[in-house]
Amino acid sequence: MKMDILQVLQQFSSIPLNENMLERPVHAHLGDLALPCFPFAKELRKSPVVIADEIALAINHPLIHKAEAVNGYVNIFLNRSTITSALLQKILDQSASYGSSNEGNNGIVTIDLSSPNIAKPFSMGHLRSTVIGNSIALLLEKNGFKTVKINYIGDWGTQFGKLLTAYQKWGDEQEVQQAPIQTLLKLYIRFHEEAEHNDFLNDEGRAAFKALEDGDTEALALWKWFKTESLKEFQRIYDLLGITFDSYNGEAYYNDKMEPIVKELADKGLLKESNGALVVELDEDMPPCLIMKSDGATLYATRDLTAAINRKETYDFVKSLYVVGNEQSLHFTQFKRVLSKMGYEWADDIQHIPFGLILKAGKKMSTRKGKIVLLEQVLNEAISLAQTTIETKNPNLTNKAEVAEAIGVGAIIFGDLKQHRKHDIEFNLETMLQTEG
């Protein structure tokens, strides 16, 4: 629409205008758009104040409600109703191609999104990453980019040592089979409760993760089982949301690919020893990036570094996006800096797209303490609410179940997307499910 307004303004200006000249006033009461007249003063040999006065006075167009000259600016107030119908008409005319462009020139963008952790429930937080990431993918595709949606499953790390230890101590095979994630979550929570007054438990957990990293058969078999069961549960949610991925290569995929990267870091003289651990020191303003623990175990950052390099080699991306919560900002700044220090110029093409937390009663939800809202439960509630509404408002509808699912799921997705991306949001099922407004 900005282009249309520019064309209108051009009729009233003797100087060629371009899109960059139009600004958005800081305050809404100053108008929808503003044209600063300072750049024209020299050529027109008039003061910007006079130029703005003249243009504002001359403007007369159905799309513009009024134009006001203020200190060398022409402030433009759009005519809502004519703009709305013109815009809707344009969308109808151009149909699916409305808003598309070729800007991307087929460049590949990898998008790291969703990325839930196995053996834990799919949380509302992962919903944000999933729907924001998917929307970004749709926008990019519309603008001529090729996207690769990567679900970087959290299937590796010290927490699996803890889970294995907990299962070996208190686990029950049948219970896991019946309700995998719920049971595994309970074991995980119990581990943390007991570890509070039993230091030894944490050591056991660490040892179990080390065994897993070293390829211990029993540990590996249990881990695989936990993973298969978890992925089945996640898939149910993705099916409901109607979202697909191009790759499910998660953290574990990089387990046998980290060694050459650690070696490369060492060869480039970037690894320093610190209390037995290996770190990359960053600039003074930032804590060092931990690469390997003293027992040889790798970390989240080690896997992300390896994955980033692997993605560049596999896809030769023009941009690599990571749709991950605000709270991981430091991690992304750190590993990008490590990549730069390694001499990879494409580190600048990596971009963290942060978003706010979903709070419950003002507090962060914690899996460890069992304080989470389960997305699947929320989706099902939304669908049943839509069903009730249909029964009262439109009882003769033929495909009720289908429509209820579309409305319920749509309400949840939109309830998320309409929020300011970076703000924390208070979880509130009622407002999410409001169909009015």
Binding site for ligand ARG (CB under 6 A): 112, 115-117, 152, 154, 304, 322, 324
For ligand ARG, the closer CB: 282 or 403 = 282
For ligand ARG, the closer CB: 112 or 213 = 112
Contact criterion met (CB below 8 Å) for 292 and 299 = yes
Shortest spacing between CB 303 and ligand ARG, in angstroms: 8
For ligand ARG, the closer CB: 185 or 407 = 185
For ligand ARG, the closer CB: 73 or 322 = 322
For ligand ARG, the closer CB: 115 or 183 = 115
Shortest spacing between CB 124 and ligand ARG, in angstroms: 12
Tell me which residue has its CB nearest to ligand ARG.
154
Shortest spacing between CB 117 and ligand ARG, in angstroms: 5
Provide the residue type at 164 as one letter: L
Shortest spacing between CB 155 and ligand ARG, in angstroms: 9
Shortest spacing between CB 248 and ligand ARG, in angstroms: 13
CA angle 152/158/160 to nearest 5° reads 75
Shortest spacing between CB 118 and ligand ARG, in angstroms: 9
For ligand ARG, the closer CB: 85 or 329 = 329
Shortest spacing between CB 324 and ligand ARG, in angstroms: 4
State the Cα torsion 242-248-252-253 to the nearest 10°.
180
For ligand ARG, the closer CB: 111 or 140 = 111
Q: Which of 427, 373, 435 is nearest to 404 (CA)?
A: 435
